[in-house]
Structure 1
Amino acid sequence: MKSAYELAMERLAASEGESKPLTDEQKGKLAAIDDKYRAKIAEREVFLNQKLAEAHRTGDRSAASDISKQLSLEKARLEEEREAEKNKVRG
């Protein structure tokens, strides 16, 4: 007898369609994409965290808030780009 978990996983696989396993080449490309975007995100964090620290030192709360929002938006944008590139490799 199958557990509820096994039945749910079967239904999920049926609704999404069976996915084929990734090749070694695809895995390498996905890892390279992750590395590339991890570096881009780190670069933006370093740059904007420096600006954020300066805004805090000067007491400019408005600028600090704007920089924090910019950092969040840029991280989200870069993560979306990363997922789009990864989906191209998977597809």
Structure 2
Amino acid sequence: MKSAFDRAMERFGGEASNCTPEQKKQLSEIDKLYDAKVAQAKFEGEQRLAKAADDAEKLERVRDEIAIEIASFNRKRETEKEKVRQKK
């Protein structure tokens, strides 16, 4: 049975990954970890946005901080996943 990723790669003309089942498991665990971190950052960000609701400057600053934090998590996610993919 093909994963959704494999089907998408076929549809868009890319090559499916040559990862071992163990690597796929590790990649999935990394995704779960960082999905949770991003969700937590968004949740906490919404709380900070609510507190800053009456100050436009503070709202913009909080939005920027949230975006930076989420981008950082996504970079770390991709870095960790690339390390797993490089292991042979």
* Alignment TM-score, normalising by the size of structure 2: 0.77
Greater gyration radius: 1
Q: What is the rounded CA distance, in whole Å, between the counterparts of 1:39 and 1:87 in structure 2?
A: 19
Instruction: Please point out which of 62, 80, 85 is paired with 2:80.
Output: 85
Report runs of 4+ in structure 1 exceeding 4 Å deviation. none
Output the CA distance in 1 between the equivalents of 2:26 and 2:73: 17
Structure 1's 20 and 45: CA in aligned 2 closer, same or farther, altered over 3 A?
closer
Paired residue for 1:69, among 39, 43, 64? 64
Measure how far apart 1:20 and its partner are: 6.5
How many residue pairs match? The answer is 74
Number of the residue aligned with 1:43:
40
Return the alpha-carbon distance in structure 1 between the equivalents of residues 17 and 24 of structure 2. Answer: 13
Larger RCO (alpha carbons 8 Å, 6+ apart): 1
* Separation (CA, whole Å) in 2 of partners of 1:41 and 1:35: 10
Shift of 1:85: 0.0
Q: Distance in 1 between matches of 2:63 and 2:17?
A: 40
| Structure 1 gap segments, 5+ residues each | 1-8, 14-18
Deviations 1:35-80 (A, max 9, x none): 0000001111111111101211xx1111110000000001111000
TM-score, normalised via structure 1 length: 0.75
Which residues of structure 2 form unaligned runs of 5+? 1-12
| Percent of residue pairs identical | 34
